[in-house]
Chain A
């Protein structure tokens, strides 16, 4: 059903359609509206028998989700920024225990200095924790990815993190196709846990593993996570078959076929980037874009094949690995053929808008004089000079 709704409310609707049995979360901007939407549904009874568990922190929120999932429930939580960092230990535990929890991260910067606005620093900080990590390019994809996430999580028995740009998507009112619960029921079977904690049939999960087996445990987790590279396109294809639209998958190429320059990005900057690509192409500059939907496991082969024809690559990072550069660029570089120049542009930290005008200037610069290997979009040079003097 088409409706004009806020991104957060649409995500709450999508999660509700997946019939979670336990929802637990601690509020943090800009995630709040999502869990409020679920809290309302639990209270009015429309999600019965789902329990909404109030907790005292993000660490508790994910710990409760871990307990619920280990006991055989479909569990969901959501967080952002400092909240994600506060639950980091549990983030690793959820992955290590192979629990198919789904979590939304409403991407927001990390302090200090404190900042409530959007970038990808939070999710990047836990990118290697063993979760599947996917980034929504727009609110329709945010809705659809949540429905796909439970399928992926439960088929592989791994947790899935769906990253949604804070404010830019979570607080945007847009026309979205909200799936019917019955359609989701036929796409997503009820959760059948691989194993579950049951006092009648006791078992131990998460026992200590020593040097004799720890590497093997990690190796198996790595191999299992890599299976997502086959499963995710299959789930996206099933989804397309049932709901009639392309959402999810590993990567989303846009006009790359005959592009001399391809711009790689993640998240909600995609739509703005596509507009700039169209505008520049109309002016004769053969540009394309590649959106990385699945970031972990990293789809190296899909990226390599999408960039095979590119003579020049620009990677836009919405987070900074301080002292190094962009995270995404470091992942993309091994996918490039020898000699293909790759410029890394760090953009939109702490909510600085990534505008059409700035992207346009940046790409015209890349096509003309070229970009530094690492540059920062719209850096305020005058302010820096003043401070550095």
Chain B
């Protein structure tokens, strides 16, 4: 089972991102489960959502304890308590930032881990450019699958097209693809660093 936890703030599409990832996994023939951990729903409040992906039916309904992939949609959450909880030695971490992972002040997370699994992508900037709004979730989804290869990017693009229509779907598909390309390049650079 592959387990993802996404941190962000209300209004950034955190729950939608987990749902779209589960739809992508479904379209790819996997069993999957996405669910939120809501506080009182309001703009700007911290929000956490989870996604599980497996080749066997998923029956558990407890929160994800051990995280295979952590996504941080809002870098202002980096120093909140417990954001990095549940990681293991091989976990992936993807952070929405225009800076590199090692320039974020959380270098201690990198200790003993593979650098190509600790990446950043300027998802908000890409979203502004392609969608015209600072909603980073689809860019991070593109980045997530490029980094982990848990499902193909084509499945994410199909999930985006199920969620959005017309130009908005096009823009979100483009930003996911652009972020995937960015993350692939970062991953290669980290591998050869």
Interface residues of A (CB under 8 A from B): 3-4, 6, 116, 138, 165, 167-169, 171-175, 268-269, 271-272, 274-275, 353-357
Closest to B24 in A: A4
B192 close to A (CB within 8 Å): no
B120 close to A (CB within 8 Å): no
Starting from the known contacts A167-B36, A171-B36, 8 additional A-B residue pairs (CB-CB under 8 Å) come to A4-B22, A138-B61, A167-B38, A172-B34, A174-B32, A174-B58, A175-B32, A275-B59
Which 7 pairs from chain A and chain B are nearest by CB? A271-B59, A4-B26, A173-B34, A172-B35, A355-B62, A272-B60, A173-B19
Q: Point out the residues of chain A lying under 8 angstroms from B63, CB to CB.
A: 353, 355
Q: Point out the residues of chain A lying under 8 angstroms from B59, CB to CB.
A: 138, 271-272, 274-275
A110 to B144, CA, bound (A): 39
Closest to B38 in A: A167
B77 close to A (CB within 8 Å): no
Q: Output the least CB separation between A73 and chain B (Å).
A: 34
Closest to B59 in A: A271
Taking a contact as CB atoms under 8 Å apart, the answer to whether A169 and B61 are in contact is: yes
Closest to A117 in B: B38
A336 to B38, CA, bound (A): 39
Q: Point out the residues of chain A lying under 8 angstroms from B36, CB to CB.
A: 167, 171
A175 to B51, CA, bound (A): 13
Q: Point out the residues of chain A lying under 8 angstroms from B27, CB to CB.
A: 4
Closest to A6 in B: B19
Q: Output the least CB separation between A249 and chain B (Å).
A: 18
Q: Which of B35, B59, B61 has the most CB of A within 10 A?
A: B61
Show 6 A/B contacts (Cβ-Cβ < 8 Å), sorted by A. Answer: A173-B23, A272-B59, A272-B61, A275-B60, A355-B63, A355-B65
B12 close to A (CB within 8 Å): no
Taking a contact as CB atoms under 8 Å apart, the answer to whether A4 and B60 are in contact is: no
Question: Looking at the complex, which one of A4, A168, A172 makes contact with B23 (CB distance below 8 Å)?
Answer: A4
Taking a contact as CB atoms under 8 Å apart, the answer to whether B61 and A172 are in contact is: yes
Q: Which of B18, B26, B36, B62 has the most CB of A within 10 A?
A: B62
Taking a contact as CB atoms under 8 Å apart, the answer to whether B32 and A171 are in contact is: no
Interface residues of B (CB under 8 A from A): 18-19, 22-23, 25-27, 31-36, 38, 40, 58-63, 65
Contact status of A174 and B33, CB under 8 A, knowing A4-B23, A6-B19, A116-B40: yes
Q: Point out the residues of chain B lying under 8 angstroms from A355, CB to CB.
A: 62-63, 65
Q: Output the least CB separation between A187 and chain B (Å).
A: 24
Closest to B40 in A: A116
Q: Point out the residues of chain B lying under 8 angstroms from A3, CB to CB.
A: 26
Closest to A2 in B: B26
Q: Point out the residues of chain B lying under 8 angstroms from A6, CB to CB.
A: 19
A269 to B62, CA, bound (A): 8
Taking a contact as CB atoms under 8 Å apart, the answer to whether B31 and A171 are in contact is: no
Closest to A358 in B: B62
Taking a contact as CB atoms under 8 Å apart, the answer to whether B62 and A167 are in contact is: no
Q: Point out the residues of chain A lying under 8 angstroms from B38, CB to CB.
A: 116, 167, 171
Q: Output the least CB separation between B42 and chain A (Å).
A: 12
A181 to B32, CA, bound (A): 25
Taking a contact as CB atoms under 8 Å apart, the answer to whether B34 and A271 are in contact is: no
Taking a contact as CB atoms under 8 Å apart, the answer to whether A356 and B33 are in contact is: no
Taking a contact as CB atoms under 8 Å apart, the answer to whether A356 and B40 are in contact is: no
A173 to B60, CA, bound (A): 13
Q: Which of A173, A174, A356 has the most CB of B within 10 A?
A: A173
Taking a contact as CB atoms under 8 Å apart, the answer to whether A271 and B61 are in contact is: yes
A357 to B62, CA, bound (A): 10
Taking a contact as CB atoms under 8 Å apart, the answer to whether A168 and B40 are in contact is: no
Closest to A114 in B: B40
A324 to B31, CA, bound (A): 41
Q: Point out the residues of chain A lying under 8 angstroms from B18, CB to CB.
A: 173
Q: Point out the residues of chain B lying under 8 angstroms from A271, CB to CB.
A: 59-61
Q: Output the least CB separation between B1 and chain A (Å).
A: 10
A3 to B159, CA, bound (A): 12
A4 to B53, CA, bound (A): 12
Q: Output the least CB separation between B34 and chain A (Å).
A: 4
Closest to A359 in B: B62
